[in-house]
């Protein structure tokens, strides 16, 4: 069903294009490189739904003179999938702007997109090495070093000093290990022990037994997708009662709805929907709730903003009578820098990151609540 939704989104744009083409010119090709199958397909659904809502708002507002043709490739959440998908989007589909996610996918896709002068925007990968990855690669999500940095003062305040770390053995997990190894001593804490797991692992009883033996104050896990739920459930089932901690990947529905996730703490950019004052955020929250009968997540925020960013940049180029291509989109971003997004005003930094306020969340009764 997930793949079909994406196909229909792409096809609808493609079918609409010929009628509009005669009056407005050829459509702008925008690509998505999300995991649409496999164990991380849940993310593909999250990302695509957010892009869809922004797409509808852009069209309803008449922001652009030409239509947008959305083209989707399945990244499989793997470096190989990222490389193959970006090659197709750049060379076959002719995309000038591609939204993608996952650290490994992004690192594999970036050189290909850079050579083709495709502007790439990440709303899901959080590895610190995604900062400054390429002049054409930009992030609308805080990277994990920013998330860990935001968590450290809270750990000190709560006297959670000895932290056990379970991390997936890939660029994301290794980045979290590096950040905690460096940051905890500076905050008066320490790594009690670390446990590396393969990205495909689903059995964690042995890891839980090792965690029990080190008497940690809290357990931080750095994983994503279906693996997260298995880590949480098996830690609790095997007697781990300590505070569980993670980064923004803990915001996905499968984690929020898991009974064993009660009390889980995770970091994210600021996303307090109840107090949203600006019209962009209010509209996003209102229409999301009406369409999906639930509150949006930070990933929905990120990819709505990623799609909105294309429209804002292309709008400026249309006003100037300049071709909308990757090179000119990049030049416009570097010139403007500051944009109105869901969640407030955001400013892009020289290293390809977006400066946004952070918050700490805790899961209660299947919902995330801001606690710091």
Mean pLDDT across 95-118: 96
Which letter does DSSP use for residue 91 in this model? Answer: I
Segments of the chain assigned to CATH 3.40.50.2300: 2-141+277-356, 145-270+359-370
Distance CA 144, CA 176 (A): 7
CATH topology of domain 2-141+277-356: Rossmann fold (3.40.50)
Q: Quick count: other Cβ atoms within 10 Å of Cβ 13?
A: 20
Confidence of residue 275 (pLDDT cuts 50, 70, 90): low
Confidence of residue 9 (pLDDT cuts 50, 70, 90): very low
Which letter does DSSP use for residue 128 in this model? Answer: G
Q: Based on the number of CB atoms within 10 Å of its own CB, is 203 exposed (0-12), middle (13-18) or buried (19 or more)?
A: exposed
Give the DSSP letter string of 185-232.
HHTT-EEEEEEEE-TT----HHHHHHHHHHT-SEEEEE--THHHHHHH
pLDDT tens across 153-166, in order?
999 999 999 999 99
Cβ atoms of 177 and 169 closer than 8 Å: no
Question: Bridge-partner residues for 28, per DSSP?
Answer: 68
- Angle at which helix 171-186 crosses helix 144-157, to 10 degrees, equals 40
What is the predicted pLDDT for the residue at 117?
98
Q: Does 14 score more than 90 pLDDT? A: no
Q: Does 188 score more than 80 pLDDT? A: yes
Whole-prediction pTM: 0.84
Distance CA 263, CA 143 (A): 23
> Which is it for strands 119-122 and 137-139: parallel, antiparallel or unpaired?
parallel
pLDDT tens across 326-364, in order?
999 999 999 999 999 998 888 999 999 987 788 999 999
CATH superfamily, with its number, for domain 145-270+359-370: Response regulator (3.40.50.2300)
Confidence of residue 269 (pLDDT cuts 50, 70, 90): confident
Name the nearest CA neighbour of 309 among 35, 63, 62: 63
The pLDDT > 70 percentage for the chain reads 93
What is the predicted pLDDT for the residue at 128?
87
Name the nearest CA neighbour of 211 among 244, 189, 188, 250: 244
Which letter does DSSP use for residue 27 in this model? Answer: P
């Amino acid at each position: 069903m997930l793949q079909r939704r994406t196909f229909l989104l792409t096809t609808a744009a493609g079918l609409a294009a010929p009628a509009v083409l005669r009056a407005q010119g050829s459509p702008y090709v925008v690509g998505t490189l999300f995991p649409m199958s496999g164990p991380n397909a849940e993310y593909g659904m999250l990302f695509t739904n957010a892009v869809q809502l922004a797409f509808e708002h852009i069209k309803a507002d008449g922001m652009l003179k030409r239509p947008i043709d959305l083209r989707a490739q399945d990244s499989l959440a793997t470096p190989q999938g990222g490389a193959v998908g970006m090659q197709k989007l750049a060379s076959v589909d002719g995309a000038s702007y591609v939204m993608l996610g996952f650290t490994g996918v992004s690192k594999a896709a970036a050189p290909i997109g850079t050579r083709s002068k495709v502007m790439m925007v990440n709303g899901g990968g959080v590895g610190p090495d995604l900062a400054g990855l390429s002049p054409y690669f930009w992030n609308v999500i805080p990277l994990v070093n920013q998330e860990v940095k935001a968590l450290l003062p809270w750990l000190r305040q709560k006297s959670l000093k000895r932290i056990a770390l379970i991390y997936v053995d890939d660029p994301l997990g290794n980045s979290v290990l590096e950040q905690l190894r460096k940051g905890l001593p500076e905050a008066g804490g320490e790594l009690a022990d670390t446990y590396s797991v393969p990205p495909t692992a689903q059995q964690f009883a042995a890891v839980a037994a090792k965690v029990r033996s080190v008497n940690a104050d809290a357990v931080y896990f750095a994983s994503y997708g279906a693996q997260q739920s298995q880590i949480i459930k098996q830690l609790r089932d095997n007697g781990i009662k300590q505070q569980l901690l993670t980064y923004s990947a803990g915001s996905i529905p499968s984690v929020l709805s898991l009974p064993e996730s009660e009390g889980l703490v995770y970091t994210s950019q600021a996303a307090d929907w109840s107090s949203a004052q600006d019209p962009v955020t209010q509209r996003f929250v209102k229409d999301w709730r009406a369409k999906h009968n639930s509150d949006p997540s930070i990933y929905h925020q990120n990819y709505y903003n990623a799609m909105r960013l294309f429209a804002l940049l292309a709008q400026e180029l249309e006003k100037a009578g300049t071709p909308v291509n990757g090179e000119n989109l990049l030049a416009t971003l570097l010139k403007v820098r500051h944009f109105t997004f869901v969640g407030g005003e955001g400013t892009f930094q020289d290293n390809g990151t977006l400066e946004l306020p952070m918050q700490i969340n805790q899961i209660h009764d299947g919902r995330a609540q801001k606690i710091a």
